[in-house]
């Protein structure tokens, strides 16, 4: 059943742009609309009787985990359960989901309340990643498992390829901590040394220290991203040091 007639024409035309970006045409456009409706908008516009995207986000999280598991098992038949879990955890978390949401320009289509809009909600990783999971659920509800599996396999392939080409698999903090504890018996320390930019688009700079061993810095749009980048830089320094010593 096509429910496009229940939405304003302007909203329908806007969502058609996103259909083109994700290469999927919805039979039930209301599913996509709901996937992109934040709770803050619903709270401020109760007369519209819209639903927020939180239930779809809940479903999308489960659908994504299943589909990524299916993709990885087919792509890496030689990997054991632990290796598969590490890859999945690396590509299915807030940061990569938000970056994929940015790739598909999801932020342009989210309905936000005035307060959330003013605070830069369209750029917040939490809102972007949740909306992306809700869109995944919408595709699943509208087209079934094979359609959403095809979309996820296509969308996540660059992330999976990056993971296979990087020996530290993007969870740089864990990799560094394991290396530091095993080799130096020390846990890396992270400290925020600077933050700058407007509230909706802040950049954080983190300094990482392994006392008497190494210091490295990293920046990012969240403290977590900055810490990961600092850990990545530290790992590269340690790798260079190892090669120099050998």
**DSSP of 5-17:** GGS-HHHHHHHHH
Catalytic pick among 57, 61, 205, 227: 61
Q: Is 61 a catalytic residue?
A: yes
Q: Which helix (H) or strand (E) holds 204?
A: strand 203-210
Among all chains, which residue has been given the structure tokens 């403290």?
Answer: 223
Q: Is 133 a catalytic residue?
A: yes
CA angle 242, 245, 246 (to 5 degrees): 90
Which ranges of the chain would DSSP assign to H, the alpha helix? Answer: 9-22, 29-35, 39-44, 54-75, 81-91, 94-103, 114-118, 125-143, 145-165, 172-184, 223-245
Catalytic pick among 52, 133, 142, 171: 133
- The residues annotated as belonging to the active site are 61, 133
């Amino acid at each position: 059943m096509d429910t496009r007639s229940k939405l304003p024409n302007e909203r329908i035309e806007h969502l058609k742009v996103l259909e083109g970006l994700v290469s999927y045409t919805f039979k039930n456009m209301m599913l996509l609309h709901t996937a992109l409706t934040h709770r803050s908008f619903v709270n401020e516009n109760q007369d519209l009787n819209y639903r927020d995207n939180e239930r779809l986000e809940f479903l999308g999280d489960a659908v994504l985990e299943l589909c990524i598991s299916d993709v990885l098992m087919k792509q890496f038949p030689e990997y054991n359960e632990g290796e598969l879990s590490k890859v999945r955890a690396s590509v299915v978390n807030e940061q990569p989901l938000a970056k994929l949401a940015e790739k598909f320009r999801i932020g342009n289509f989210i309905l936000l309340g005035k307060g959330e809009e003013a605070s830069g909600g369209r750029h917040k990783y939490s809102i972007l990643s949740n909306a992306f999971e809700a869109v995944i659920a919408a595709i699943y509800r509208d087209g079934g498992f094979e359609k959403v599996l095809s979309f996820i396999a296509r969308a996540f392939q660059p992330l999976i390829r990056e993971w296979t080409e990087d020996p530290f698999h993007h969870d740089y903090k864990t990799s560094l901590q394991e290396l530091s504890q095993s080799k130096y018996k020390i846990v890396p320390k992270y400290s925020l040394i600077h933050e700058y930019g407007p509230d909706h688009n802040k950049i954080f700079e983190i300094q990482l220290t392994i006392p008497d061993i190494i210091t490295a810095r990293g920046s990012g749009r969240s403290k977590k991203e900055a810490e990961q980048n600092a850990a990545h830089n530290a790992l590269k320094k340690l790798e260079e040091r190892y090669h120099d010593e050998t």
